[in-house]
Structures are given as structure tokens and as C-alpha cells.
A and B are shown apart, each in its own frame.
Chain A
Amino acid sequence: MKKHFKFYKLILASLALSFLFGIPSYASEPFESYSYNYWKLAVRQPYPYLYDKTFDEKDFETKLSFPDDMFYFSDSIFVADTGNSRVLKLDLNGKVLMEIDSAKNKSDKLNEPRGVYVTDEGNIYVADSKNARVVEYTKDGDFVREIGRPDTTLIADNVEYKPMKVVVDKDGRIYVIAYGINMGLVEFDRDGNFQGFMGAAEVNVNKFYYIWKNFLSTKEQQERMQTIVPTEYSNIFVDKENFVYATINGLTGDEINAEKDCIRRLNPTGTDVLRRLGPPIVGDLRFSQDGWSSFKDAAATDYGCYFVLDDANGKVFAYDYDGNSLFIFGRSGIKEGNTQKPVSLVINSDASKIYVLDGVLGNIVSYKITDYGKLVLNAIYLNDTGDSEGSNACWQEVLKRNSNCEMAYIGLGKTFLSEGDYKKAMEYFKLGNNRKYYSKAFYYYRKEVMEENFGKIMAVIIAVVLGLLAVKGYARIKKWVGEVKCTTLKH
């Protein structure tokens, strides 16, 4: 009895202690974490990023009104505060460092700027949508120049020119997404002269729809139908290699199932060079509660991994250079750490933090990388730089945390392949469901086996051939003997 009492006391004491110091409990994240595997199934995985915090008006000390774009440049965040017609520069605590609201002079106000971009030199480009111009500032916010409506007949005079997003590549070419212009990105040279359009989204029309629309439907029906036009891009991002990631927004389920592009990686001539070796890059592969994914913005690391923002479900999709699904996390909702209408996504220089701008609430939600996420990205980074040993070590660690990670198996398989351990490489490629590399490993493995057992194999082949010859010869001799016997009998 006494012993029992003591035990009881111990529990009480420990409870009291735990209340005092707090049990290290893991708050459940306001979203799920998964990725798509080879079979196009969503597989849960450890969190690559965790909700960090939300920057709101308390941090900004001012209110954002329907902000539309964000850019990350050397530890500061630029926000196009569209509703308030200004561009803000924030530090990483959300404090406003600089505010730009006018162009040439004080009276020349910005009017609903929707895009912001900062070059490597720190020059700020703003897509001033209602004023039909792109404005350049120095890093201190002094006006440099403005690039107005492109001087061309390719855009009809009655069409409004409304720049939405702007980026500048390393060679100084300026790309602009303009509202209502579906011929692609508007391209200017470094001096602001119109160069042409780039990377027009192709139109691929459903054949049945085309026939139905043009031949079978009545005039009244035709008038109520949508005109078939190419989709416009929703946002653009320039990566280290001067390639432009362009996202396409608001595709229907039919279009996604027909494998229409949701994101492109355009080379400087405007050709899509995005590698699509994994499952389709369309966000969620199945219709989810809030509808199909709709890509709004993208950001890429220097080693080819890219993060895409889905504004329908508030999710962030991460893909590697080959288009394999790395991470999926985030969610739209009303919990802390959710977003309501995410519009823009930026990552910091080492992708350890992701910032998502909420267009309705005027918040910036930040996500912090976990050990798991760091390991995966690091493994890919090291592999990209050619350090296969370091990459190998990272993948080993990744597998300890997530044995479902096909990427890790493929990564390790590649290492074994280059080390010459073909059998092991085959095993790992099989686990990672990668037939291309499995075939490669198998080729060398087969060669190895053949070389080792060449003598035996040849011996077997010769034995078989000789055996067949012997059987045939025996039959012939028997026949000949029979014939001889017949002839002798006749005589």
C-alpha cells in the first residue's frame, strides 16, 4: 500500500514538473506533407518545411492592400503593394526599410504596381500596371527610367497595355507579362526597345470541341462559347542560367488531364526546356477538395530545384531538375500558418526559408526548412556540383528518415553505378523505380557476368551444338546403315 502511494506521488510530481517546464510537445502542423511517387500516388513524408511565422501589419507597421508580387534580394523582401499603389522594401523581421510610391517626380505616382523585380546590382524594376509602364529605380529608390508601351503594331491600338509582372535576365533583357496579351512574354532589350514576344503558350484545341464549335453549333451557341485563346502566364522567375520559369494559372481539370503545361522553363529563344521525367508537373494529380492545382508563382534554386505556388489550395510544390516531385506542403485555410489567397512565393538564397504572400490578408507567411528538407536539397545540390560522396552521405541520412524516398534510392544507385557496384546499383534503381538507370546498370552487370563466365557459357554452347550434331549424325548413319542393309538384302 505504501509503495502504491509513493508511485502515485511520483506521478503527481512529474505531472507538476511537466506543467512547470512544459512537455516538449510537437504542435501539429496546419498542413500535410507528401510527395508523388512513381505510381502517381501521394505518399506521406516527413515535413520538409515547418510553419515559421506570419508577418502582418504589426510587423510592417502599415497595412498591405491586395499585394500582388514579391521579390527576395539579399536579405530583404520587396513587395508590390498593389492596392496602396506603392512598393515596399522589408527586412527579414518585416520592418519597412523603404517605400517607393512615385516615379519621375513626387507628383508622378505609381498606379497599382503588380510586379517587382530586383537585378543583381540592386536596381528595382516595377510593373506599374495602370500607368502602362515599367519603371526602373536605383537600389536607393531613385528614379532611373521608365519603359512604356511597346512601339509595335503587333498589339492592336484598342488593346490596353497593362504590365503585370516583370523580370530582367542577367544580360539585361526585360521580360514583361502584360494583361490580355496572349502572344507570350513581351521582351525588351537592355535599352528598353521592344524586341518581340517570347514563349507564346501554344493553343491545343480539343478536336471534338473544335468541330462542335465551328461546324455543328448554332450562331447563338457560338456566341456564348469561349473563344479559344492561348493561356497567359501568371508569373515569371529568372534562374541562374538565364532561363525563365513561367507559370500558367487557372487550367481546368480537362486541360490538366490533357497534359497541358502548367509551368514552363523557357530558354532565351522561348522554347520550353523543362524536364518532365517524373509524374506530370501539374500540382496535385487528383482532384482535391478545392479543385485542381493552379500555379501562380515559381522560384528556383541555383541547382535546378524549383518551388511552385498553387493558389487554389495554398500548397507549395517542389520539384527537382528532372521534374520529380520532391515536397508538397502548405494549405489554404483559416488556421495560423495557412494562407487564404496566396499570390507570390519567394525563397531565400539557400532555400532555407520560403515566404508566401497572401493577397487577401496582406500577410507574408514564412516556412522554415527542417533537417529532412535540408538533407534532400543538400543531396541534390552536392550531386549537381559533382560531389557524389557527399550526396551519397546525405541520401543515406534521408533514407533513415524516409524509407519511401525514391529520389534517395536513385541517388544512391547512381553512386553505386559510378563506383562500379552494378548489382547494388540495380537493386537501388529497382527500389527507386527508375528503369532508365536500371538498364544502364544492368548493361554493365551483364557484361561483367559474361566476362567472368565466358568460358562456361562457351563450353555450354559448344556442348549443345556438338550434341545436336551428334544426334543428327547418328540418325544419318542409322539411315545409311539401313539403306546398306536393304541393298544387301535385295541382292
Chain B
Amino acid sequence: MHYFETLKYVFHVIFHPFDGFWDLKHEKKGSVPAALTFVVLTIITLAIEKQDTAFLFNKNKLSELNVLVDIITVALVFILWCVANWCTTSLMDGKGKMVEIVTAIGYAVFPIPLIRLPLVFLSHLVTMDEGAFIKVFGIVSLIWAGMLVFFATSVIHEYSIKKTVVTVLITILGMGILMFIGLLFFNVIEQMINFVLTIYKEIRFR
């Protein structure tokens, strides 16, 4: 299917999740490039939101903001989720493939840029008292995206609701474990490099 068509299909997915995710998987109505586009959009939205929300609603210390950190954080969460979800579901008779997980999650996070990007613009037009809806809609976008992720997991792996809940919990745990292993790995590598460097220096200074 054409890239643009798959992009447009997201509006069907976010309003009809069960039908939409089923079609993503079986009818190939979505595409990985489109999904990655939505993920990039989300990353950009969250970064822009942090910097460009109006002063009234922006409690971040702008002088200490690092876009790179924001980008990496969101991207890392996405990658970790996909990997951890794939790992757990392949052990729990999940029917989904890695490509399908990535596609579905990409489509599922679309409410975040959809709602939050206009909110950044709107925040410049309202006062503090009128600004309650900004907070509300921000939360709504998160809940919406969260539910979509949940349904996506359920549909793609053909799980019952109960099993999905368990899978989600294990996936979150798995993300933690992956992080831990990653940190451990980096630590060990760092020590090894240090060790080699020290030996090299010792030999050179002799």
C-alpha cells in the first residue's frame, strides 16, 4: 500500500482500535515507515512541548534543557517496550511478530502528537485560569495512547484481556530488567576498557 494511504489509516485505527489493529496485522493496511513517522512525531511533540509551551504552563528550567536527552528518553522507551514485549510474548504464545509490534505501537501513540501539538500552540493564548483544559487534554492524550497500546497488544498477539494485563505488567518488568542489564553491560565494558588503558599506560611509563 502507498505510504500516504498507510499514514491516513491512523485515523481509523485510533477511533476503531480493535478493527484497526486487526487490519494492520492481517490486511496490511499499515506500514513500518508510517509507524516510525508517528514515533518521530511523538518525540518531536514531547521535545517541543517541553521548550515551547507558554511561560504560564511551562515549569521547566529552560536554561538546563537538553533536547538530546528528551529525544533519547522517548526513543529508548519505545525501543525497550518493543523489545521487551516481543521477548515476553514469544514466551507466552503471542502471535505477533516484531514488525507487527513496532507498527501497532507506532500507530497507538498517535494521540499524543495529535492532541499535544495543538495544545502547545493554544497555551500561548490562554491565561492561568482558563488553562485547566490544557492539563486535562494532556492527560486525556496519555490515557488514550495508553489504552491503544493495551488494545494493540491484545489484538496483535490475540490475547484475552486478562492475559494482556499480565503481559503488559511483565513487559514493564522486562523493560526494567533490560535497563539493568544494559547498565551492567556498560559498566563492565567501561571497567574493561579502563583496565586495558591502565596496563597500556603502565607499560608505556616504564
- Give A contacts to B, CB under 8 Å: 39, 430, 435-436, 438-440, 442-443, 446
- Tell me if B4 is interfacial: C-beta within 8 Å of chain A: no
- A193 and B201 alpha carbons, distance in the complex (Å): 84
Residues 123 to 149 of chain B near chain A (Cβ within 8 Å): 125, 127-129
- Tell me if B55 is interfacial: C-beta within 8 Å of chain A: yes
Check if A439 sits within 8 Å of B129, measured CB to CB: yes
Q: List 18 A-B contacts (CB under 8 A).
A: A39-B61, A430-B55, A435-B55, A435-B56, A435-B128, A436-B128, A438-B55, A438-B56, A439-B56, A439-B127, A439-B128, A439-B129, A440-B127, A442-B56, A442-B127, A443-B127, A446-B125, A446-B127
- Interface band, chain B: under 10
Residues on B with beta carbons closer than 8 Å to the beta carbon of A438: 55-56
A258 to chain B, nearest CB (A): 22
- A440 and B129 alpha carbons, distance in the complex (Å): 10
Residues on A with beta carbons closer than 8 Å to the beta carbon of B128: 435-436, 439
- A358 and B82 alpha carbons, distance in the complex (Å): 65
Interface string of B42-81 (1 = CB under 8 A from A): 0000000000000110000100000000000000000000
B54 to chain A, nearest CB (A): 9
Residues on B with beta carbons closer than 8 Å to the beta carbon of A435: 55-56, 128
Residues on A with beta carbons closer than 8 Å to the beta carbon of B127: 439-440, 442-443, 446
Besides A435-B128, A442-B127, 15 new A-B residue pairs in contact (Cβ under 8 A), listed by A number: A39-B61, A435-B55, A435-B56, A436-B128, A438-B55, A438-B56, A439-B56, A439-B127, A439-B128, A439-B129, A440-B127, A442-B56, A443-B127, A446-B125, A446-B127
Residues on A with beta carbons closer than 8 Å to the beta carbon of B56: 435, 438-439, 442
Closest residue on chain B to residue A41 by CB atoms = B61
Residues on B with beta carbons closer than 8 Å to the beta carbon of A439: 56, 127-129
B31 to chain A, nearest CB (A): 30
- Give B contacts to A, CB under 8 Å: 55-56, 61, 125, 127-129
- A334 and B127 alpha carbons, distance in the complex (Å): 52
- A443 and B54 alpha carbons, distance in the complex (Å): 14
B130 to chain A, nearest CB (A): 9
Closest residue on chain A to residue B57 by CB atoms = A435
- A436 and B131 alpha carbons, distance in the complex (Å): 12
Residues on A with beta carbons closer than 8 Å to the beta carbon of B55: 430, 435, 438
Top 6 A-B pairs, shortest CB-CB distance: A439-B128, A439-B127, A443-B127, A430-B55, A435-B56, A439-B56
- A440 and B56 alpha carbons, distance in the complex (Å): 11
B64 to chain A, nearest CB (A): 9
- A430 and B54 alpha carbons, distance in the complex (Å): 11
- A436 and B125 alpha carbons, distance in the complex (Å): 15
Residues on A with beta carbons closer than 8 Å to the beta carbon of B125: 446
A277 to chain B, nearest CB (A): 14
Residues on B with beta carbons closer than 8 Å to the beta carbon of A436: 128
- A81 and B85 alpha carbons, distance in the complex (Å): 73
- A435 and B125 alpha carbons, distance in the complex (Å): 15
Residues on A with beta carbons closer than 8 Å to the beta carbon of B129: 439
- A438 and B127 alpha carbons, distance in the complex (Å): 9
- A439 and B125 alpha carbons, distance in the complex (Å): 11
A141 to chain B, nearest CB (A): 57
B62 to chain A, nearest CB (A): 11
Residues on A with beta carbons closer than 8 Å to the beta carbon of B61: 39
B13 to chain A, nearest CB (A): 27
Closest residue on chain A to residue B125 by CB atoms = A446
Residues on B with beta carbons closer than 8 Å to the beta carbon of A430: 55
Residues on B with beta carbons closer than 8 Å to the beta carbon of A440: 127
Residues on B with beta carbons closer than 8 Å to the beta carbon of A39: 61
A403 to chain B, nearest CB (A): 15
Closest residue on chain A to residue B64 by CB atoms = A39
Closest residue on chain A to residue B128 by CB atoms = A439
- A459 and B128 alpha carbons, distance in the complex (Å): 28
Closest residue on chain A to residue B55 by CB atoms = A430
B155 to chain A, nearest CB (A): 36
- A39 and B56 alpha carbons, distance in the complex (Å): 15
- A181 and B128 alpha carbons, distance in the complex (Å): 45
Closest residue on chain B to residue A440 by CB atoms = B127
- A446 and B129 alpha carbons, distance in the complex (Å): 14
Closest residue on chain A to residue B61 by CB atoms = A39
- A435 and B128 alpha carbons, distance in the complex (Å): 8
- A39 and B63 alpha carbons, distance in the complex (Å): 11
Closest residue on chain B to residue A441 by CB atoms = B127
Closest residue on chain B to residue A39 by CB atoms = B61
B109 to chain A, nearest CB (A): 30
Residues on B with beta carbons closer than 8 Å to the beta carbon of A446: 125, 127
- A391 and B43 alpha carbons, distance in the complex (Å): 47
B122 to chain A, nearest CB (A): 13
- A435 and B127 alpha carbons, distance in the complex (Å): 10
- A180 and B132 alpha carbons, distance in the complex (Å): 47
- A443 and B61 alpha carbons, distance in the complex (Å): 24
- A443 and B127 alpha carbons, distance in the complex (Å): 6
- A435 and B57 alpha carbons, distance in the complex (Å): 8
Closest residue on chain A to residue B63 by CB atoms = A39
Closest residue on chain B to residue A445 by CB atoms = B127
- A435 and B126 alpha carbons, distance in the complex (Å): 13
- A32 and B70 alpha carbons, distance in the complex (Å): 37
- A435 and B56 alpha carbons, distance in the complex (Å): 6
Closest residue on chain A to residue B54 by CB atoms = A442
A423 to chain B, nearest CB (A): 13
Closest residue on chain B to residue A437 by CB atoms = B128
